[in-house]
Amino acid sequence: MFIVCRSVKGGSGTSIVTAALASLASTSSNTVLVDLAGDQPAIFGSVTPIAGVTDWMNAPHAESPFDTDISIDDQLRIVPTGQRPLPHRDAPSWNALVERLVESSARSTIIVDLGTHDAPTSLIEAADRVLLVVRPCYLALRKAVALAVKADSVVVVDEDQRALRPRDVESVLGLPVVAIVKTHPSVARRVDAGLFHRRLPDSLAEPLRHVLTATSPSNS
């Protein structure tokens, strides 16, 4: 299984949603979380290494982009971002990375936190699912439409005070909303305490669990 999570606007909650998906997936399969946005080790209460996947992409002669991974537990590893900037979307190293991710997805669940970065077509087309994470925010929806962001479904990080609702998100983007995650203070508290993975908040686990079930090979 190979999932890419992306957003068009900072602060959308993409890294938290991605982390929750990886945490859930790791309960039933070996899972590799590829962090292209930079926050995943901190979310899981780990030290962020200096080297990472962007260093490999800028000099892809090393044996594997996974050489610098962090073991969170026996079932979950994080491939950190690294120090170098992400290459341009047309750089050949993207194809090399995608090839490695596809190979690994045959034996592990691969989940990529793309953040707000522009993505090459090869990454989007290789994934089993591409999730656009948005808040019901006019500016975010306007930007997603203007950029014609490629995704196959949407996760809405919902806030009660917003005038727009998930059905409005579906209407504007023309994509199905497959999960609605309600904002809840327990998420920030558990990240701050380093307990996010061990005590995944129900506000994340309940709506996101079926996304994994629907994406699994047995349902494809």
Contacts of 106 (CB under 8 A, 6+ apart): none
pLDDT at 160 over 90: no
From first CA to last CA, the distance across the chain in angstroms is 10
What residue ranges do the domains of the chain occupy? 2-219
pLDDT digits (tens, 9 = 90+) for 7-35: 999 999 999 999 999 999 999 999 999 99
Check residue 37 and report its DSSP letter.
S
pLDDT digits (tens, 9 = 90+) for 91-114: 999 999 999 999 999 999 999 999
CB atoms within 10 A of CB 217: 9
Read off the amino acid at residue 151. A
Query: 14-25 and 202-215 are packed helices; what angle lies between their axes, rounded to 10 degrees?
Result: 70
Percent of the chain with pLDDT over 70: 97
- Specify the pLDDT at position 60: 58
Rounded to the nearest integer, the mean pLDDT of the chain is 94
Structure-block tokens of residue 17: 């949603």
Domain boundaries 2-219, corresponding CATH code: 3.40.50.300
Confidence at 218, pLDDT banded by 50, 70, 90: low
pLDDT digits (tens, 9 = 90+) for 50-70: 899 999 998 856 678 888 899
- Specify the pLDDT at position 61: 63
- Specify the pLDDT at position 46: 93
Per-residue pLDDT, averaged over 130-151, amounts to 96
Confidence at 196, pLDDT banded by 50, 70, 90: very high
Confidence at 116, pLDDT banded by 50, 70, 90: very high
Yes or no: say if 84 and 55 are a contact pair by the CB < 8 Å rule: yes
Structural element, H or E, at residue 103: helix 92-105
pLDDT digits (tens, 9 = 90+) for 201-211: 999 999 999 99
pLDDT at 178 over 90: yes
